[in-house]
Structure 1
């Protein structure tokens, strides 16, 4: 090979080798010699298969054909080879390209792309809207929350100019202004979205620098529409609650209660014990935890305790912890100061308003765990601190809390702090459910009939025996409250009847009553044995059952379907003890 061709041969960046069919190296250029850590003189004559121990490469070199893109691993280096067969000389020309650095760069680019995707996903989970532009005003990033505020799809905004998305220019766009002036901007504004909803936002816009070079701008936007609404709500609630503006004489005259222990209707031994425990606990100022299912009368007990206690001339204030979100409940309990949040004013919380009296926290297990920790601190220190204030205020308040589930179960499931339970439960009162004190059902029925019959201007002496028996056996998942509502609902349907009967019951209870009263027809048919009169009675029962089912429990319609009078059907229902 003459000198000119040798110079060209050695100037190639790729590694070039000339080998025969046996794989012996006939010639190679300097890049190839460096690849194999030798010199051309020492490598000529050696076997290329020893330098590149690859079966795939060996097969590609022995088929007397050309091949491109042959992958080759050489230690830590990755190569790709192109093989050309030179028919005139019967030799192979190998061109090897080192792609190790290229692959490393591709891997790094892939990793950077994954990092960017990861950051995009993270920023999409923020409750703040984020928009980033480059130095030319093109939108590089626009997250999900910002799209919710502007009612725009993020994908439709990215990679577009600010001016193309919104009708703004360099003087009216906060992003472009921050980019142009290099100043940080903050503002609050209320605008109306395309759906007509008023949206109030706080925005902060900052210029971005890469070293000394200005590279873009970023805007962070927080939607405070909900906080603004909560602020207005808490102010309204604080106006409705008796506060420090009420005259002391009015507080003494009326402490916001309606119930005393005489209001509790019972005859069972279980309730007598619970009421006696409550009377004794009323004499002290210790905190009380009342445990009972929904509808058992927990607030009735709380008011009765207050009215039996030395604090009865002071206010009684009740708050359902499940009725408000935690952010609103905290301000309502502890009070607010000007600047604690947008629109906040100086307002006394329920603890201050109940000073000297009793504060009922209903369904305390619905309160957030973080707020429970703050409540615990107040109970321990007997001091409160309004939101946004560094000043503490002494409070003298007896806390009566209620919970509608087993406290230990609430603790295990993370709904109640264990230390708060011990602080609240200095005295524990457990109100048994109505199904566990059935002796109270008759006196409660009489009480509710007298109470609501007078209000509805009807005269009712009691309830039918079959309905009474059903009431005694029904589990009453809604307890006393459910029983009262059922009685009141029945009295609304009474016309000229003197007693509450099956027809007056709500549909759900009618269905339950029929299910309890009537055994399956198949079971009855299987027992059709005995004398003829007995079989006639069983058949009569089946026909009555079928008529009641088809009429939805309506006795009048069932009697018409059976062709007998309503009175006769009622007689047969009692005779066959359908509701016994």
Structure 2
């Protein structure tokens, strides 16, 4: 009875996994299989059976063997199979096959490759994007000490071919910095290739970076990866914190040895490009949480540049606002030339969680709705700006922050503002986020960062 129960449990579990499982004995009898084996047509199932019988003769397992076959209705199916002998007292008594259908993955990868080729052709024939870039340091607007320091460090790093890690919140302009560094350095005539690691499924990311050979697990033809496409230029890996620990280990080897292999190839290729990476998360937190390898961090961040958030460079807010007003006035055929006093005050009192990207979005929205006037007013701001609480003058006393650095003072100020919002909302995160003009998830991140949840208690009113 126990054996029957165990088999029932095993069959139920096997029927709920995505891979097809098939087990036979020496006589070729089917010992076990799950419902996914129905994917195989009779001819293909017979071919699989012959392969399993062959393992009884050799005793050798095979891993990730790629197979492509055409169904009777002319559909192309791509399969990845692992065949394992099961031994008892040194004798092979059964053979198990685990088969993964990678047809959808293969089709998606081929679509991505086609899009890459289209982008490459467009960049090749464009007068403005001959190396795949749009921005230079001239595109970075800012006169604050924080921004000036970041730009100076970036210019120095441009002539140092060591890997660079750009750290900054979402919307601070990390890719603009990456392109500017590329265009300022000696490899500016070479390609600049960018990849957002968070936007690509983990199963495809490795293939896109390293490339594939004919007959590899994806079933694709010989395709160069981004390491090859970048040539002697720059490969920009955006949101590298999304990269898995396994792929980090493989990239670590590339950074150390300056060599890589296409998937399915035994030949090593030289890496000639420079790696620039970016992250919107503090890597120290990732190291503590074991989401980033320490050895990988030291290799990918030989040069570590921090891009300051907009709230830490207030004197740049109005400078950027005037730039965007002029830009969008031309695009939308408006006559706007300046901001009203109340609008300037609103901008300076706002925390800008979305940084420069949010400022750009807000002004494009406002300019597009404005009438035939020369001064942009707060009336055209998005609705959430009107719900944003003004900064209370008594929140942080100057006597308490006069001996602190600007980041320390701003952090204290931010914490007090959040506490006020939470108190007013009786601890309701959603309402507090709405009053602060930020997303709920953004507020939760800030609460954890500032440790507010551990120190503040709220009592709901009856």
Match in the other structure for 1:294? 170
Match in the other structure for 1:334? 210
Alignment of 1:156-555 (within 5 A): 174=45, 188-189=68-69, 221-240=99-118, 242=120, 254-512=130-388, 515-516=389-390
Structure of larger gyration radius: 1
Higher relative contact order (CA 8 A, sep 6+): 2
CA distance in 1, matches of 2:78, 2:346: 57
Cα drift, residue 121 of structure 1: 5.1
Cα drift, residue 357 of structure 1: 1.1
Match in the other structure for 1:129? 20
Residues 1:220 and 1:395: Cα distance change in structure 2 (over 3 Å): closer
Kept in 2, the 8 Å contact 1:252–1:313? The answer is no
Residues 1:333 and 1:132: Cα distance change in structure 2 (over 3 Å): closer
Alignment of 1:140-159 (within 5 A): 143=34, 145-146=36-37
- TM-superposition CA deviations, 1:88-138 (whole Å, max 9, x none): xxxxxxxxxxxxxxxxxxxxx33x234324533553464322367999x99
TM-score, scaled relative to structure 1:
0.57
Cα drift, residue 312 of structure 1: 1.1
Cα drift, residue 499 of structure 1: 2.0
- TM-superposition CA deviations, 1:351-394 (whole Å, max 9, x none): 11212111111111111111111111111111111111111111
TM-score, scaled relative to structure 2:
0.70
Segments ≥4 residues shifted beyond 6 Å: 132-135, 137-140, 202-206, 215-219, 249-253
Cα drift, residue 303 of structure 1: 0.9
Residues 1:178 and 1:334: Cα distance change in structure 2 (over 3 Å): closer
List gaps (5 residues or longer) in structure 2.
Answer: 56-64, 393-462
Kept in 2, the 8 Å contact 1:292–1:404? The answer is yes
SS for the counterpart of 2:166 is strand
Cα drift, residue 225 of structure 1: 2.0
SS for the counterpart of 1:516 is coil
Match in the other structure for 1:119? 10
Kept in 1, the 8 Å contact 2:78–2:219? The answer is no
CA distance in 1, matches of 2:46, 2:353: 59
Q: Report the count of equivalent residues.
A: 377
RMSD: 4.1
SS for the counterpart of 1:265 is coil
CA distance in 2, matches of 1:199, 1:325: 20
Cα drift, residue 260 of structure 1: 1.3
Cα drift, residue 458 of structure 1: 0.4
List gaps (5 residues or longer) in structure 1.
Answer: 1-108, 151-165, 519-580
